[in-house]
């Protein structure tokens, strides 16, 4: 009978799934510096990354490494990180759903508006802006909890195969939280920055107003600004349509991601209970 042994001089070739995971990790890390308008594509890439992770967890080598008693601590750490990710994803889903409901109500009022129902429109706009404050408050709380509860991992030993697997899964968790954090920040809207113009600029009213805030504009910020002014409802309606389409993409992306995250957690549980 022939026995096959692994050469110590020539390391085994990485499995294609490992390379796929690395490619998605690289893509998502590169996208961190891009505009917030790329949220939906990042969510799509994150879904595909977790699909690769689930396939990685089905590999015999992965299951053998994580199921060993001496690696129980690392597997537990990975498993303990999944509820945190699910909580953040759930918070993002709730924020998107609440925003969507108020936006659709406001769209309906604007479409049916008449000269004598300006009071109804004003009331709906006020309700929407109030809802935005509620959503922002919930998001800020979620972001604060996220920063306070980042995963801490123990050091790895000299088991190179297990180190590679665990390190990759840790990277996936970190990238996932970063993308979800960007989703929450996108929904919350950009933070305003104090004007850096000299005081003399106040002599020119139009320039002073234009310089009160410097912010990165996204769909939420555009709608907020349009509704606060209420000078051009047709423009506001168009911006609401754009925002609604953006939210629809995010809602679908987050729902698919949430299901994939649960699937990944189940795979981890199965390995530990094997």
Q: What is the pLDDT of residue 227?
A: 80
Condensed to tens digits (0 to 9), the pLDDT of residues 226-251 reads 787 766 666 777 888 888 888 999 99
Structure tokens at 29: 């890390």
Q: In total, how many domains does the chain have?
A: 1
Please state the rounded mean pLDDT for residues 10-18.
Answer: 65
Residue 250 neighbours by CB under 8 Å, 6+ apart: 39, 40, 43, 92, 96, 183, 187
Residue 12 falls inside a structural domain: no
Model confidence at 10, in pLDDT bands (50, 70, 90)? very low
Determine, yes or no, domain membership for 11: no
- pTM for this prediction: 0.78
Cβ 189 vs Cβ 218: under 8 Å: yes
The answer to the question of residue 172 being in a domain is yes
With 0-12 CB in 10 A as exposed, 13-18 as middle and 19+ as buried, what is 86? middle
The reply to whether 5 falls in a domain is no
Q: Is the pLDDT score of 198 beyond 50?
A: no
pLDDT band for position 193 (50/70/90)?
very low
Q: For residues 119 and 213, what is the distance between their CA atoms, to the nearest angstrom?
A: 29
pLDDT of residue 117: 61
Residue 206 has pLDDT above 80, yes or no: no
Whether 9 is covered by a domain: the verdict is no
Write out pLDDT tens, residues 46-100: 999 999 999 999 999 888 888 887 777 877 888 888 888 999 999 999 999 988 8
Range of the domain at 34: 17-272
Sign of CA dihedral 199, 202, 206, 210: positive
- Residue 7 included in any domain: no
Q: Give me 97's structure tokens.
A: 């759903």
- The CB density around residue 252, as the number of other CB atoms within 10 Å, is 14
- At 1 the pLDDT is 41
Query: Is position 4 within any domain?
Result: no
Please indicate, yes or no, if residue 239 is contained in any of the structural domains: yes
């Amino acid at each position: 009978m022939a026995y096959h042994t692994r050469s110590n001089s020539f390391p085994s070739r990485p499995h294609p799934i490992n390379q796929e995971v690395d490619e998605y990790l690289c893509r998502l890390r590169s996208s961190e510096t891009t505009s917030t308008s790329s949220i939906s594509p990042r969510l799509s890439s994150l879904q595909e990354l977790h699909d690769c992770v689930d396939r990685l967890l089905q590999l015999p080598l992965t299951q053998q490494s994580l199921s060993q008693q001496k690696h129980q601590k690392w597997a537990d750490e990975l498993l303990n990180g999944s509820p945190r990710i699910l909580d953040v994803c759930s918070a993002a889903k709730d924020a998107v759903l609440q925003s969507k409901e108020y936006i659709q109500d406001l769209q309906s009022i604007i479409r049916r508006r008449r000269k004598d129902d300006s009071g109804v429109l004003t009331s709906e706009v006020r309700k929407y802006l109030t809802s935005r404050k509620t959503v922002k408050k919930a998001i800020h709380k979620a972001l604060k909890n996220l920063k306070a509860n980042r995963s801490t991992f123990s050091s790895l030993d000299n088991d190179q195969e297990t180190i590679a697997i665990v390190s990759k899964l840790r990277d996936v968790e970190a990238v996932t939280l970063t993308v979800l954090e960007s989703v929450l920040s996108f929904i919350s809207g950009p933070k305003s920055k104090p004007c850096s113009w000299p005081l003399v600029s106040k002599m020119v009213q139009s320039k002073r107003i234009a310089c009160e805030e410097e912010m990165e504009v996204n769909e939420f910020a555009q709608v907020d600004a349009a509704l606060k002014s209420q000078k051009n409802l047709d423009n506001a309606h168009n911006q609401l349509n754009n925002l609604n389409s953006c939210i629809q993409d995010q809602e679908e992306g987050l729902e698919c991601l949430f299901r994939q995250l649960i699937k990944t957690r189940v795979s981890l549980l199965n390995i530990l209970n094997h």
